[in-house]
């Protein structure tokens, strides 16, 4: 990738708890470590789940910067924290729940300036990175509006349950509405299926429904439940080796899964970039 013009991805679904933050953090980690690309995660969720996972990943015990300060001061660069080689983070904190107040204080009723603020703030960072991933709360709000209009591509996370499919449909429809209203060239890069129960009747039905609705947008790689991925949420993302220098089998399985997801998304991007 051209490291002078980062591609920006927003990862979303309007239903919470579907694995959105897990997808952001794992894709960013694989981009940075496996593909050796300079990668930035911008955490726009006041709950800061991506911030916590990546802080543990990098062994960072204290974070003093925040996306809140970046939005307030009009400059995100001073808020960047290095996590590990090739991977940086702009962390969130609970003060970011006041995003709407920050935008009104800065821009009054100028809706265009409010909604395109993140896009403006990201622009100077693009020459420093290959990829920028944005994590957002699962709501129609100033967070999702700013993220969608700052992004080049949207990655949808679909947990194989009815409400998650509804959330994905709403997300895609709202993305299209924003794209049309503001003449933005935002495309769905791919839909990542997260299956709770492999072979479960509801899971299979929802996945089949998604494929019938969205066809090749649904990735062939299915993220199935793995205990190791839950461990990463608690302890941070890692790769462990045994005494003989071989990668831990469960780490290998977890990382190979998201390397496959990222490889598929890259293939989708090549096609869309060529259009």
Question: Per-residue pLDDT for 167 more than 50?
Answer: yes
Averaged pLDDT for residues 90-114:
97
Q: Which stretch of 136-145, 154-163, 199-208 has the lowest confidence by average pLDDT?
A: 199-208
Neighbours of 230 (CB within 10 A): 12
Order of strands across the sheet that contains 81-84? 81-84, 87-90, 39-43, 131-135, 7-12, 153-159, 187-195, 223-224
Q: What is the pTM of this model?
A: 0.95
- Map out the domains of the chain as residue ranges: 7-274
Determine the Cα–Cα distance for residues 221 and 257; give it in Å rounded to an integer. 8
Burial 114-152 (b: 16+ CB within 10 A, else e): bbbbbbebbeebbeebbbbbbbbbbeeebbbbbbbbbbb
Cα angle value 129/35/92 (rounded, 5°): 50
Nearest to 138 by CA among 224, 228, 19: 19
CB 130 within 8 A of CB 6: yes
pLDDT digits (tens, 9 = 90+) for 214-253: 999 999 999 998 999 999 999 999 999 988 889 999 999 9
Averaged pLDDT for residues 86-105:
97
CB 47 within 8 A of CB 17: no
State the pLDDT at residue 3.
Answer: 44
DSSP 8-state assignment for residue 90: E
| CA distance readout (Å), 134 to 10, 154, 155, 225 | 5, 10, 10, 23
Token readout for 72 is: 């307030």
* Residue 195 β-bridge partners: 224
Nearest to 140 by CA among 103, 109, 173: 173
**What CATH topology corresponds to 7-274?**
Rossmann fold (3.40.50)
State the pLDDT at residue 182.
Answer: 95
Helix ranges, the chain (H): 20-33, 49-57, 67-73, 99-107, 111-115, 117-122, 142-150, 162-181, 201-214, 227-235, 249-274
Determine the Cα–Cα distance for residues 96 and 76; give it in Å rounded to an integer. 14
Determine the Cα–Cα distance for residues 265 and 92; give it in Å rounded to an integer. 26
State the pLDDT at residue 250.
Answer: 95
Question: Per-residue pLDDT for 1 more than 70?
Answer: no
Please, is 232 exposed, middle or buried when counting C-beta atoms within 10 Å of its C-beta (0-12, 13-18, 19+)? buried
Q: Which stretch of 57-71, 89-103, 114-128, 187-201 has the lowest confidence by average pLDDT?
A: 187-201
């Amino acid at each position: 990738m051209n490291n002078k013009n980062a591609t920006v991805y927003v990862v979303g679904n309007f239903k919470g708890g579907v694995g959105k933050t897990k997808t952001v953090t794992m894709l960013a980690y694989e981009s940075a470590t496996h593909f050796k690309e300079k990668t930035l995660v911008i955490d726009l969720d006041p709950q800061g789940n991506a911030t916590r996972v990546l802080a543990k990943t990098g062994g960072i015990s204290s974070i003093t910067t925040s996306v809140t300060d970046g939005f307030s001061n009009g400059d995100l660069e001073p808020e960047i924290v290095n996590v590990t080689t090739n991977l940086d983070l702009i962390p969130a904190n609970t003060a970011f729940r006041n995003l709407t107040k920050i935008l009104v204080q800065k821009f009054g009723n100028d809706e265009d300036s409010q909604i395109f603020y993140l896009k403006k703030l990201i622009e100077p960072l693009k020459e420093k990175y290959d990829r920028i991933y944005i994590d957002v709360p699962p709501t129609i709000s100033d967070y999702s509006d700013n993220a969608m209009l700052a992004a080049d591509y949207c990655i949808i996370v679909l947990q194989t349950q009815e409400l998650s499919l509804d959330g994905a449909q709403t997300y895609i429809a709202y993305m299209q509405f924003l794209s049309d209203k503001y003449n933005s060239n935002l495309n769905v890069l791919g839909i990542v299926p997260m299956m709770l129960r492999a072979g479960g009747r509801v899971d299979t039905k929802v996945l089949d429904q998604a494929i019938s609705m969205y066809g090749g947008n649904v990735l062939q790689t299915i993220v199935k439940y793995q205990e190791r991925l839950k461990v990463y949420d608690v302890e941070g993302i890692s790769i462990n080796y045994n005494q003989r220098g071989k990668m831990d089998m469960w780490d290998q399985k977890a990382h190979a899964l998201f390397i496959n997801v990222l490889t598929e998304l890259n293939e989708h991007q090549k096609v869309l970039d060529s259009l």
